[in-house]
Amino acid sequence: MAPKLERFTSPGKGNGLRATGRIRKGEPVYSAEPLACCVSNKAARQVCHHCFTRCESLLRCSQCKMARYCDTTCQKRAWSGHKRECKCLRSLLPRIPTDSVRLAARIIFTLLTPSQRSSEELYTLEEHESHLSSMSPQKREGLSQLAAMLQLYLQQEVPNLTQEMTLVIPPSCQEPLSLIAKVTCNCFTISDGELQEIGVGLYPSLSLLNHDCRPNCVMVFEGTKLHLRAVQDISPKEELTISYIETVSLTVDRQRQLEEQYHFTCHCQRCDSQDMDGLMLSGDEAAWRPMKEALPRLGELQAEFDWQAVLEGCSSLLLPDGGAVPDENLYKLRVTDLALDACVHLAHWEEALRYGEKTLPVYRQYYPDPHPVHGVQLMRVGKLHHYLGHIEETMDTFTQAYEIIKVTHGSAHPLTCDLRGKLEECRAELSQPSSSR
């Protein structure tokens, strides 16, 4: 049992985690390695499949052609876990199974290797909720297709899947459909230091954490290790909460996503008050509606890495509004963020900085400090200032970012260490005579 938290029955929510003593803002609460994890398909070419580090150049597995590693050391260390997956991947080529199917298979491989199983979990795989009974027929049909794919994926390596699962897997997880349902309802998105998705993993004990749209804890990753940290002071017996979703959305959209993906209706204070909805929809609707309607197509262009088309689309929406849509408008913020990403990828640094600076006051409003998303955005803008030689502005922006990141990530996290190094570099540059800068 972890010393700072305990399992309990949360009123109206079922299982939950609460503090066993006082927890201060910025304090680490719990750390966990995954029962199983995998790099997501969309990051498969950029991230090492063993250590989950982003690399420009990766070694590819010569057999399955999918797994990639930053060096031979990672490749050798990964082989004991990858060898079964490798055979399964080869059997399906050129098809690639979904992240959920690959994660479910890795869970099975882990459970078939008893020495890898942990006995110290607060919450076991058997106890995980699947929510099958509350799913719509369409959702259940989609999961049935994934379960069928799981059986097909494993047929070369685990031909008697149901029989072998009966020997090692808890009864409530033995059916492929049940296992897939548990995975989709309880897995976590693994992100890199700048909060970009790189994988998925199952962390059994931390699946006990309940959602709040203004949580008192955040989760950050260091490779595949998950760290739970407090971002508010937490009293003894107070429930620990995290956010399951991106919270800068309208109340109706947040509630719809939570109902569709996690099968509950959120009644947190923020949802019941709908306190930010008016600000998110501020401005002339006739002016911001084209932004809202354009976002799906802009997202598709982003997924296709067509950054020039993304920038052109964003510019055509942002230039003509003439102040009719304030920067705080949700859809304008999303278009501005897309424009910033496009400019960075196209190396349009000054234009990227203009877009980035527009977002900072809005991020400050929508992500109450300390929030990792605000901290990372400050870092992005600080890097642009630094690249353009604006050392004083860089120092100010990095200092703001550091005050947030040291709370949300901790002083030893690689992102915090990197930011501390950048601050020291800026101080050294500022101390130089102006003529040498």
- The pLDDT tens digits of the residues spanning 84-93 come to 999 999 999 8
**Whole-number Å distance between alpha carbons of 1 and 13:** 21
pTM: 0.90
Dihedral of the alpha carbons of 291, 297, 303, 309, in degrees to the nearest 10: -80
Q: Can you give the pLDDT at residue 355?
A: 98
* Main-chain dihedrals φ then ψ at residue 190, nearest 5 degrees: -90, 130
Confidence of residue 161 (pLDDT cuts 50, 70, 90): low
Class of domain 44-186: mainly alpha
By DSSP bridging, strand 188-191 and strand 197-202 are antiparallel
Q: Can you give the pLDDT at residue 194?
A: 85
Task: Report yes or no: 127 and 103 within 8 Å, Cβ to Cβ.
Answer: no
**Whole-number Å distance between alpha carbons of 14 and 186:** 14
Confidence of residue 197 (pLDDT cuts 50, 70, 90): very high
Confidence of residue 1 (pLDDT cuts 50, 70, 90): very low
For 354, how many CA atoms within 13 A lie in the half-sphere containing its CB?
9
Residues found in the chain: 437
Report the topology of domain 1-33+203-274.
Beta-clip-like (2.170.270)
Q: What percent of the chain stands above pLDDT 70?
A: 93
Residue 170 clears pLDDT 90, i.e. is over it: no
Render pLDDT for 291-306 as a digit per residue (tens, 0 to 9).
999 999 999 999 999 9
User: Which single residue is written with the structure tokens 């006051």?
Assistant: 361
Which CATH architecture does the domain made up of 276-356 adopt?
Alpha Horseshoe (1.25)
Confidence of residue 435 (pLDDT cuts 50, 70, 90): very low
Mean per-residue pLDDT for 28-36?
94
DSSP three-state, residue 178: helix
Task: Report yes or no: 343 and 304 within 8 Å, Cβ to Cβ.
Answer: no
User: Which single residue is written with the structure tokens 């059997």?
Assistant: 91
Alpha helices, H only, 238-284: 251-262, 269-273, 277-280
Which CATH architecture does the domain made up of 367-437 adopt?
Alpha Horseshoe (1.25)
**Whole-number Å distance between alpha carbons of 224 and 207:** 16
**Whole-number Å distance between alpha carbons of 188 and 276:** 27
Q: Can you give the pLDDT at residue 369?
A: 83
Alpha helices, H only, 346-390: 349-366, 372-387
Q: Say if 1-33+203-274 and 44-186 have the same CATH topology.
A: no
Residue 250 clears pLDDT 80, i.e. is over it: yes
For 35, how many CA atoms within 13 A lie in the half-sphere containing its CB?
31
Higher pLDDT, 410 or 163: 410
Confidence of residue 175 (pLDDT cuts 50, 70, 90): confident
**Whole-number Å distance between alpha carbons of 48 and 437:** 38
Render pLDDT for 337-357 as a digit per residue (tens, 0 to 9).
999 999 999 999 999 999 999
Q: Can you give the pLDDT at residue 12?
A: 86
Domain boundaries, the chain: 1-33+203-274, 44-186, 276-356, 367-437
Close Cβ partners of 232 (under 8 Å, ≥ 6 residues apart): 25, 216
**Whole-number Å distance between alpha carbons of 420 and 406:** 9
First CA to last CA distance, the chain: 55
Higher pLDDT, 259 or 167: 259
